[in-house]
Amino acid sequence: MTIELDTARAPLTVLSEDETMFRDAVTAFADEQVRPRVQAMDRAGKLDPELIPEFFGLGLMGIAVPEEYGGAAGTMMMVTLGVEAVSRVDASSAILMDVQNTLVNSPLTRFGTDAQRKQYLTKLTAGTVGAYALSEPGSGSDAFGLATRAERRGDDWVLTGRKLWITNGAEAEIFIVFATVDASAGYRGITAFIIERGFAGFSVGKKEDKLGIRASSTTELILDGCVVPAANVLGPVGQGYKIAIETLNEGRIGIGAQMIGVARGALDATVQYVRERTQFGKPLAEFQGIQFQLAQAATELEAARLMVYNAARLKDAGRPFTQEAAMAKLFSSQVTERVTSLCVELHGGYGYTKDYPVEKFYRDAKIGTIYEGTSNMQLQTIAKLLLRG
């Protein structure tokens, strides 16, 4: 019997030459440019402003944007590799590029008009940071229970409301904001708008003081009669829910990449530590109990990595990927919590101090089970698709 290899599925984890070169370049950038700044940025709760142009200079803020708008015309797999490589050093820095690529550039590329793409994607690849604004004080997991309203007035829309938990809020100049144009229509009244920081009636409010990913800005947005030109409606009026859902489905792959990067960074630091730290006259790495715990952690991390890569490959192949993305986000965030917790424990008392990197990896891991859909929301998505029949 002859068994034929399905070449379309074989290279799940075998990277192409371009992917390998890209991953290695981003890894070197993270080690050389990001790592020396990590502790200071975490203490300050702010990204080093000199670092942001470096991300643009390397093309990391427009990985999958078409070349005609200044992007690299790359793939979701390359976005995944980039986010993973930076997260291995600092999740806060990785989130800057993750949000830009998956939650801002992607919907503009897919749903924007030619004029919108020319106006905004060219800026977003050249040095302008973007943000995605769906969540509100009263609607987190209930993503479409929006209180923010949009009213048509002549050639403009006027938006009133508040947005909360907006990543990149402090640095962003361009925002994709969701509001309800017809409350009686339910989710069919949701519409997406492209808002510039300088628009009348728009302001950035409180910046959150967080447990982890501290250097990544998380802010409130205030829309006090914000005037938005009708030309800045993204997609059809009333179709914002579709844009939001499809964007978040892709964004979950990015969160999965972030999580496996965080876990890898913590595990690498711990392997080095147990090789050097001695107890009872020999390195910790020689104790079987330590070896088995690390082996288990590495195995779970590899399973999570495969799930994230698979979701990215499916997306790039034009195949359905919603369930796989939800599974990857769910599992990778759970694994990363376990792995980073173990890494703190294996460092003993030192792991509880800021002298070693694992305490930060541990703090950064928690957000993975919360944003872009909590673990319960991922389970709901998976169950819905599983039981559809």
pTM: predicted TM-score of the whole model, two decimal places: 0.95
In 96-155 the beta strands, taken as DSSP E runs, fall at: 130-133, 149-153
Residue among 217, 151, 142, 231 nearest 183 (CA) = 151
Neighbour count for residue 369 (Cβ, 10 Å): 20
Return the SS3 of 224: strand
Annotated catalytic residue within 171, 220, 337, 372 = 372
| Cα 283–chain centre separation | 37
Return the SS3 of 195: strand
> What topology is assigned to 131-239 in CATH?
Butyryl-CoA Dehydrogenase, subunit A; domain 2 (2.40.110)
Residue among 364, 214, 367, 346 nearest 269 (CA) = 346
For 357, phi then psi, to 5°, come to -75, -15
Q: What is the pLDDT of residue 389?
A: 65
Residue among 258, 244, 255 nearest 327 (CA) = 255
> What topology is assigned to 242-386 in CATH?
Butyryl-CoA Dehydrogenase, subunit A; domain 3 (1.20.140)
Question: What letter represents residue 344's amino acid?
Answer: V
| Cα 196–chain centre separation | 21
Active site (annotated) includes residue 136: no
What are the domain boundaries of the chain? 17-129, 131-239, 242-386
Rg (CA), the chain: 21
Residue among 174, 192, 175 nearest 234 (CA) = 192
Instruction: Tell which CATH architecture fits domain 17-129.
Output: Orthogonal Bundle (1.10)
Q: Which residues contact 45 (CB under 8 A, 6 or more apart)?
A: 207, 209, 210, 214, 215
β-sheet bridge partners, residue 139: 136
Query: How far apart, in whole angstroms, are the C-alpha atoms of residue 267 and residue 195?
Result: 41
Query: How far apart, in whole angstroms, are the C-alpha atoms of residue 372 and residue 279?
Result: 42
pLDDT tens for the chain, 389 residues long, are: 343 434 444 456 789 999 999 999 999 999 999 999 999 999 999 999 999 999 999 999 999 999 999 999 999 999 999 999 999 999 999 999 999 999 999 999 999 999 999 999 999 999 999 999 999 999 877 878 899 999 999 999 999 999 999 999 999 999 999 999 999 999 999 999 999 999 999 999 999 999 999 999 999 999 999 999 999 999 999 999 999 999 999 999 999 999 999 999 999 999 999 999 999 999 999 999 999 999 999 999 999 999 999 999 999 999 999 999 999 999 999 999 999 999 999 999 999 999 999 999 999 999 999 999 999 999 999 999 999 96
The two tokens of residue 241 are 């829910």
Q: What is the pLDDT of residue 139?
A: 87
DSSP string covering 235-296, please?
SSTT-HHHHHHHHHHHHHHHHHHHHHHHHHHHHHHHHHHHHH-EETTEEGGG-HHHHHHHHH
Query: How far apart, in whole angstroms, are the C-alpha atoms of residue 83 and residue 132?
Result: 17
Buried b (16+ CB within 10 A) or exposed e, 17-30: eebeebbeebbebb
User: 216 in the Ramachandran plot: left (φ > 0), alpha (ψ -120 to 50) or beta?
Assistant: beta
Alpha-carbon distances, residue 107 vs 13, 178, 180, 362 (angstroms): 27, 12, 18, 31
